[in-house]
Structure 1
Amino acid sequence: MLVVLSFIFLKIMVPLFVLIGIGFVAQKAMKMDARTFARMTVYVLVPAVMFIKMYSAKVDLHFFATIILFVTVIQILMFIIGEISARMLGYSRSKRKAFSNALTFFNSGNYGLPLADLIFKSSPIAASVQVFIMMLQNTTGNTVGVLQASSANSSYRKALRHVFTMPSFYVLLLIIPINYFGISIPEPVLVPLKYLADGFIALALITLGVQLADIKCSYKINDVLLPCFIRLVVSPILGFLLTLLLGIKGELAQALIIGVSTPSAINTAILAREFNNEPDYAAKIVFYSTLLSGLSMSFVIYCLQFM
C-alpha cells in the first residue's frame, strides 16, 4: 500500500504541485496581475475545454441529471455539517458563514479538472464531469456563496446576473443540441479549440499558484485543521457512500468522488475578503486545504482503484 501511495503521489500529485509552485513563486517574485490569469482561464480556456470534452464524450441529459443530483446532495450535506460544527464550537455568525462556505464550495476548476485529466488520461467522460461540477459550483458559489458571505439580500440579483455572464453557461446550451443531433464541427473550428484545451492544465494550475500567493493570512494551521479534515476526508467519504446509494459505478463514480474531494475553492477566500467576512480565517482554510490535499488526494486516488 505504501509503495502504491508513494507512486501515486510522485506520478500525479507532485507534477500538479510543481505547476502550482511555479505560479506561487512567480507571483511572489514578479507581482503579476492574478485577475488576468483567472479571467483567461474562466473566459477562454474553460469554455474551450468544456466544448471539446463534452463534444468527445457525447454526454446525454441523464448524465447531467446524475451530476446535478450528486453535487447538490454533497453541497447540502457539507453545509449542514459546517453549520452544526461551527455552532458546536461556539463560532460567531460571521465565522460560521466563512466556515460553511469553505466546506460547501470546492476547487473543481483549476484543481479538479487538471487532476482528473492526469488521473484518467484525458478521458472525455471524466473531464466532462469536472467541467459540469465546476459550472454548478460557479452557479451556487455566485448565488448562495455570495449571500452567505454578504448577508445582504440585494446581492442575490447581482450574483445571479454574474452567472449568466459566464461563457461556460452558453457553451453548455450549445453542446447539448450538438450532441443530441450528432452535428459535426468543422476542422477549422475544432482544431483551435483543441489547442486552447491542451493549454488548460498548465495555465489553470499556475493560476491557482498565483492566486494562493496573493492570499494574505497568518500562517497558523491549528485553527483550520477541522475544516481541512472535513473538506479533504469527510467529503470524499460522503461522495463514496452517495455513489453506492445512487448506484453510480465505474469511471463516472470515480470522477464524481475526485470532484468532491478537492480543497476549498479560492472564491471562498475572495468572497470573504470582498464582504469582510473573516477574510484571514477563510484564506487560511483555502491555503492549508490546498497544501494538505497532496496527501489526501493520493489516498483517495489509491482507494478509487478498488471501485
Structure 2
Amino acid sequence: MNLALTVLEIVAPVFLLAAIGYVWVKTGFEYRLQFVTQLAMTLSMPCLIFVSLMETEIDVGALTALSLATIVAYGAVTIAILILVKVMRLDNRTFTSPLIFGNTGNLGLPLAFFAFGDTGLSYAIIVFAIMLIWNFTFGIWMVAGQGSLTKILREPLFGGAFLGLLFMWQGWQTPVFLTNTLSLVGQLGIPLMLITLGVAVARLQAGGMVRAVLLSAVKLILCTAIAWGAADYFELGPVAFGVLVVQVATPVAVTSYMLAEKYGARSEDVAGLVVASTLMSVAALPLLLAAVL
C-alpha cells in the first residue's frame, strides 16, 4: 500500500500537468507552442540543468558507470530496433528514430526529479545529454539522410549540461544572487515541458493506431529489458539504476513527429506512435517505478 501511494505521488503531478495542457487546448484556449517550447528549451531548461549539476555531488565512478551504461543501452536499443524494422518491413525513415529515442526531456527529466529528487535529476540529465547527441547525429540522419554534431554543440541544453558538469567537476559555485536567479528561471522548465507535452498530444492527428499500439508495446518491452540489463551489468546504484531504466523506457517523443513532418517522413504514422506510447506510459511507468524503487 505504501509503495502504491509513493508511486502515485510521483506520477500524479507528471500526468496531471500534461492533462492540463491537453484540456487547455481542447477547450479552445490559445497556446503558442513554438514560443513556449523555445522559452523552455533555450532558457529555462539550460538553467535548470546547469544549477542541478553544479549543486549535486556525484561520485566520479558512479558518473562514469552511468555514462557507459547509457551508451551501451542506446547502442543495444539501436541494433534491436534496426532488426525489428527490417523484419517487419517498416519504413526506415519513419519508424527507426521514434522507436529508439524516448521522451527523456519533457517526460523523463520531470519523472526522475519527482521520483529520485535532485540527485535523480542530475543522473537523468546525463542520460538525456547522451541521448541528445545520438539523436542529433544518428537519429536525424535516419530521418533526413543527414546529421549534425555541430548543431548539438550549439544547443543551449548542451551548453547548460557542459557548464554544469565543468562546475561540478571543479567544485565551482556561481554567486548566490546568480544561483538564485538561475534557479527561479529553471523552475519554470518542468511545468512548462509537461503542459506543452499535453498540448502537443492534443493537437496530433494520429494514424495507424493498431500498428502503433503494437510497436509501442514492443518498444517499451525492448527498451526496459535492455536498460535493465545494462544497469545490472554496470552495477549501478539504486538511483542511477532507476533513472536509466525509466529514461530509456519513456514513450515516443513529440519531437520525433516534428522531425518527420520537417523532413518528409510519414508523420501521421509517427503521430500514432506518440499518442499510443504516451497513453500506454500512463499505466506502464507507474509499474516500472514500482519495480525500481
Same fold by TM-score greater than 0.5? yes
Counterpart contact for 1:5–1:299, Cα < 8 Å: no
Matched, 1:164 2:158: no
Letter in 2 for 1:140: W
Matched, 1:192 2:181: yes
- 1:216-255 to 2 correspondences below 5 Å: 216-218=205-207, 220-255=208-243
Letter in 2 for 1:100: T
**Structure 2 CA distance for aligned equivalents of residues 7 and 222 of structure 1:** 33
**Mean Cα deviation higher: 273-282 or 26-35:** 26-35
Letter in 2 for 1:24: Y
Letter in 2 for 1:71: T
**Mean Cα deviation higher: 26-35 or 105-114:** 26-35
Give the CA deviation at 1:106. 0.9
- 1:246-285 to 2 correspondences below 5 Å: 246-285=234-273
- 1:135 corresponding residue in structure 2: 129
Q: Note the alpha carbon deviations across 1:195-235, whole angstroms, 9 max, x for none.
A: 123232211100111222232323x5311123211222221
Matched, 1:112 2:101: no
Which of 202, 219, 237 aligns to 2:191? It is 202
Counterpart contact for 2:74–2:131, Cα < 8 Å: no
Size of the aligned set, in residue pairs, is 292
**Structure 2 CA distance for aligned equivalents of residues 192 and 256 of structure 1:** 30
- 1:18 corresponding residue in structure 2: 16
Unaligned ranges ≥5, structure 2:
none
**Structure 2 CA distance for aligned equivalents of residues 162 and 222 of structure 1:** 36
Give the CA deviation at 1:253. 1.3
> Percent identical across equivalent pairs?
22
Counterpart contact for 2:120–2:239, Cα < 8 Å: yes
TM-score (norm 1): 0.87
Residues 9, 58 of structure 1: CA spacing in aligned structure 2 closer, same or farther, 3 A cutoff?
A: closer
**Structure 2 CA distance for aligned equivalents of residues 82 and 109 of structure 1:** 21
Residues 90, 5 of structure 1: CA spacing in aligned structure 2 closer, same or farther, 3 A cutoff?
A: farther
Matched, 1:176 2:172: no
**Structure 1 CA distance for aligned equivalents of residues 237 and 7 of structure 2:** 25
- 1:98-109 to 2 correspondences below 5 Å: 98-109=94-105
Give the CA deviation at 1:113. 0.8
Letter in 1 for 2:42: Y
Unaligned ranges ≥5, structure 1:
none
Which of 297, 300, 305 aligns to 2:285? It is 297
**Mean Cα deviation higher: 273-282 or 7-16:** 7-16
Matched, 1:150 2:139: no
**Structure 2 CA distance for aligned equivalents of residues 148 and 166 of structure 1:** 20
Counterpart contact for 2:7–2:289, Cα < 8 Å: no
Q: Note the alpha carbon deviations across 1:274-293, whole angstroms, 9 max, x for none.
A: 11211111111111111110
Give the CA deviation at 1:190. 0.8
Residues 135, 162 of structure 1: CA spacing in aligned structure 2 closer, same or farther, 3 A cutoff?
A: same
Q: Note the alpha carbon deviations across 1:26-54, whole angstroms, 9 max, x for none.
A: 23423422111111111111111111211
TM-score (norm 2): 0.91
Q: Note the alpha carbon deviations across 1:246-271, whole angstroms, 9 max, x for none.
A: 12122111111121121112221111
- 1:90 corresponding residue in structure 2: 89
**Structure 2 CA distance for aligned equivalents of residues 127 and 19 of structure 1:** 18
Counterpart contact for 1:112–1:259, Cα < 8 Å: yes
- RMSD across aligned C-alpha pairs, in angstroms? 2.1
Counterpart contact for 1:236–1:261, Cα < 8 Å: yes
